[in-house]
Amino acid sequence: YNWSFSSDEKKKIKTHVKINSKIVVNKFNYKLYGAIIHKGTSASSGHYYFIGCKSENINSNKSSNRWYQMNDDTVTKASHRLINRISKDPSNDHTPYVLFYRLSDFALKTW
């Protein structure tokens, strides 16, 4: 979102940004495990939902790394590719808003 000084209101930005499933920051590798999506035409209203997987599974084989879309009381199977498809389509009003990455270089420590 940005602020429009001409209309004195928030405006929803719909510019596509490529969402990488893997990123490197300071030589550390991270993998995407989820995104909060905003559905709505304006910055003042809309609905939020989540697409993601268990972050503990991002380093395991693909069969156990299932992705889901969680929307209020409905959970459906999804794909990690759905996040990028949503962002690429300028005709829809769904926008990835917050991305979740997990450090993938180290095993998860259990207590």
Q: Residue-wise pLDDT tens for the chain (111 aa)?
A: 778 788 888 877 777 788 888 999 998 999 999 999 988 887 788 899 999 998 776 666 555 678 999 999 899 999 888 888 887 777 778 888 899 999 887 665 665
- Reference 36, options 51, 14, 20, 53; nearest CA is 51
Q: CA separation (Å) from 72 to 6, 12, 48, 82?
A: 36, 22, 9, 18
